[in-house]
Structure 1
Amino acid sequence: MNTAVSQQPDAGVLLELDGIGISFGGLRAVDDLSFKIRRGEIVGLIGPNGAGKTTVFNMITGVYRPTDGRIRWHGRDITGLAPHRIAEAGIRRTFQTIRLFQDMTVLENVIAGQHLKMRQSWWQGLLNTPAQRREERELVEHAMEVLQKLDLADVAHEIATSLPYGAQRRVEMARTLVAKPELIILDEPAAGLNEQESAGLNDTIRAIRDAGITVILVEHDMSVVMNVTDNIVVINFGKKIAEGKPAEIRSNPLVIEAYLGQDDEEEDDPLLNAVHDQVNA
């Protein structure tokens, strides 16, 4: 594959998915999916359980290679690049389950997120050179700046896994943000949060955008999605069925059918119930 191929991007477009698809055996998990992410947007990617949302994230970040279509970053074809190459290009992600380092402080966890940005080699660290010490100071200063923005500076020296669940979520976001990405992908950041923590998450996501970072969000808490996103893409059975502003999506008959037409056994699905509440609000 020639990853140097580029095309002139639309003004403001950071990421473009152009007809991407992927199959696992005989299952078509994502099919002919296209949408664009513009600089400074908060975009929600939603759909019923099993719609293919996390699979889309995995294709964007290089975990899976699409069997069809192209993914472009700043107009450059990045389809199939390794995950570390995608991260180096400026795309970072969080995960549905928290993945903090055990027995490390909040600050240490966040500093670890800068490993791809480190300039000094391992042997310079062993020698404790002036350049190494200077870089360490810079890493700590930048990590503390990010913690301050996410209201975590006061717990910087606490063991990260000892914090309340909502604070641990913010630590994971801080570890991602410290790498200075252009685009951050948040995979169900409200999972496990209580109502108060979910409300605070809205402010955190807006703070990320205000720091100049574009956001893609997969989330089952529709109050978060409807409150913070500028644009929403809806997929069902791996296909895009709608795209638009939150108010447009809320009243879209295809979206309502996709969510409210699920089997009775899924009637307790939190996403289904949340969408039902939004539709009838």
Structure 2
Amino acid sequence: MSKVWFITGATRGIGAELARAVLAAGDSVVATGRKAEAVIEALGTSNRLLATPLDVTRPGQPEDAVRVALGKFGRIDVLVNNAGYGLVGALEECSAEELAAQFNTNVLGLAAVTRAVLPVLRAQKSGHIFNVSSAAGFAGYPGASSYSATKFAVEGLSEGLAHEVAPLGIKVTIVEPGYFRTGFLTDNSAVYAKTVIGDYDATAGAMRRGSQAMNGNQEGDPRKLAQAFLTLAAAQKPPLRFTAGRDAVEQLEQTLATRREEMMPWLELAVSLAHDGSPKGSLR
């Protein structure tokens, strides 16, 4: 049976490539962006495509988009929370307003769309939610501390959500891409902190310069990532986390090794903190 996908941030990048792949596979798509015209410009028209405006930070818009989707297709099978952007700058360089805007889109907007779709999935007793995180969701990078904070939040939200909805027949997968060749690093997508502090030039400054130099040269192919989404959506037992791209896999392996190396010298102290006389468990 064909599926109905609801994709946020579908005007460009991973979202647009995924929408094209879904349509090519014969499924239907509710493709959203801040302007429906931009979605149509990116994807064209089809009787299996519904382009609808959605600013994930605007109260009421997620619910409106879901109502329109149900009016057109009658159901939603797959939700892809893809809308988001990167804020580049050291934490001290990022203003409270810049940080709040980053969280409003990447975390609170994702949560708002998920809450709007969940009643549909619960009624169906089926569905699959994909939350797009990042390699920055398990590893912090200098100059991307704010962005990493939002993606770490997405990881925790998604893992808890997965436990909540599993008994209801709903699956959750966190997708953790590395660098893919999209417009994510372009000046009209990435946001750079307005304040620049010279003391951070070797860290956050290097991230600024590196991001601009990498734009257009990223290793990952977004068309292949779109096909990976289709494979995961068809799986009987999809993973909770899917780390996407060679660079992301290498970063994950390094992160896991570093965490263990950091823990071991302090392990005795860590496990010595129980009340005296408490039963002692075994460490594996």
Tell me which protein shows more strand as a share of its residues. 1
TM surpasses 0.5: no
Task: Give the shorter-chain TM-score range.
Answer: 0.3 to 0.5
TM-score of the superposed pair, with normalisation by structure 2: 0.32
Tell me which protein shows more helix as a share of its residues. 2
